[in-house]
Structure 1
Amino acid sequence: MNTIKFIAIFSLLVSAEAIFGHENSPHTPRSTPVVKEQKPWGIAGDAKAAARTIMLRMTDDMRFTPRHIEVREGETVRLRAENKGEVMHEIVIGTRAELDAHAALMKKHPGMEHDEPYMAHVAPGKRGDIVWQFNRPGQFDFACLIPGHYEAGMTGTITVLPRKP
């Protein structure tokens, strides 16, 4: 095999590993306390304060079910994401702009590890929780930012309704 063919084949193999590396990489559970940092879409919540659990199903057809959820301003909820597929999925909460920027970063660095309280990485057949206090009204988003999943439409919306008077 000539050198040029070898370099081309090697480059393809390395690229494939980089593209799919994040998908199969294990994400270890958080071992440090959650840092409660205010975000436009809320702040990390206390599990004891979770008023309800909202089940979200993730599948290999690159969809969340349900794709839209509603919560009330001030409500702390547990988002429980169940991966019913055969590949790694994740759920990340944010604004559309934040998710777009994070997805672009994931494309450039697919093996990067990240662990924030507004995201959960879920292996096939497993589930992951996000406990979040939605303390600001508005329209927010959630998505799977694993390269290719976001682009395939693995997204959803969260409407945070104003507090009841």
Structure 2
Amino acid sequence: MTHRHTRHSLALALTLSLMAAPALAHGPKMHGGAPAPVIKEQKDWGIAGDAKQVRRTITIAMGDDMRFKPDVIDVREGETVRLAIRNRGKLLHELVIGTPAELDAHAAMMVKFPNMQHDEPYMAHVDPGQRGGIVWTFNRPGEFQFACLIAGHYQAGMVGTVRVRPANKDKP
């Protein structure tokens, strides 16, 4: 390959990456304007909840020590909860709910594309010193995770566990 061809390839790659950059925004105010309507899509770990159905709020703090407090939460199958998330750090953090495999795949993408745009009902991006929230219905029993997938945070251990106990059919 000639030096001229190499320079041309590098210039093309840089141009394409710069053209894509605006579409890869990541953060709590990525879309501007009014929030988009919540799309309810069944996931292995549940579905977006209706705020009117919330009977319990679970407060989760996150910080620059790359930890969640608490890092384990227990819910009952069918329960709709509000996760009240507080970023006590000086860095942007997020809370994303998912299966370990889903979070691993998403974390790998975030390392490759740290400014990747995503805004789903099972994730909250929280600026330093601010609060955010998720309303989620855990309608499938099992053990799931929540994590901060900002590049380097997940790899540093910023992960928690959601234990969804099966609904007790004997109790109303």
Fold match by TM threshold 0.5: yes
Amino acid at match of 1:145: L
- With structure 2 as the length reference, what TM-score do the two structures score? 0.80
- In 2 relative to 1, CA 76–24 (structure 1 residues): closer, same or farther, beyond 3 Å? closer
- The offset of 1:31, in angstroms, is 1.8
How high is the sequence identity, in percent, across the aligned residues? 63
If the length of structure 1 is used for normalisation, what is the TM-score? 0.83
1:40 aligned residue? 44
Cα RMSD for the two superposed structures:
2.1
Partners of 1:59 and 1:84 within 8 A in 2: yes
Q: Distance in 1 between matches of 2:125 and 2:27?
A: 11
2:107 maps to 1:103: yes
Q: How does 1:4-19 map to 2 (within 5 A)?
A: none
Distance in 1 between residues matched to 2:99 and 2:66, nearest whole Å: 19
Which structure: larger Rg? 2
Matched, 1:64 2:68: yes
**Does the 8 Å CA contact 2:28/2:126 hold for their aligned counterparts?**
no
2:163 aligned to 156, 159, 162, which one?
A: 159
Q: Tell me what 1:88 maps to.
A: 92
Asked if structure 1 preserves the Cα contact closer than 8 Å seen for 2:28 and 2:127, the reply is: no
Q: Name the structure 2 match of 1:133.
A: 137
Residue 25 of structure 1, CA deviation = 7.7
Structure 1 unmatched runs, 5+ = 1-17
User: Runs (4+) of structure 1 moved beyond 6 Å?
Assistant: 21-25
In the TM superposition, 1:49-60 aligns within 5 A as 49-60=53-64
Which amino acid letter does the alignment assign opposite residue 155 of structure 2?
Answer: E
Amino acid at match of 1:81: I
Q: Any gaps of 5 or more consecutive residues in structure 2?
A: 1-20
For residues 25 and 134 of structure 1, the distance between their equivalents in structure 2, rounded to whole angstroms, comes to 24
Segment drifting more, 88-97 vs 23-32: 23-32
Residue matched to 1:120: 124
Measure, in 2, the Cα distance between the counterparts of 1:135 and 1:54: 17
Matched-pair contact (CA < 8 Å) for 1:24–1:87: no
Separation of aligned partners in 2, 1:63 and 1:53? 20
Cα pair distance change 1:22/1:150, threshold 3 Å: farther
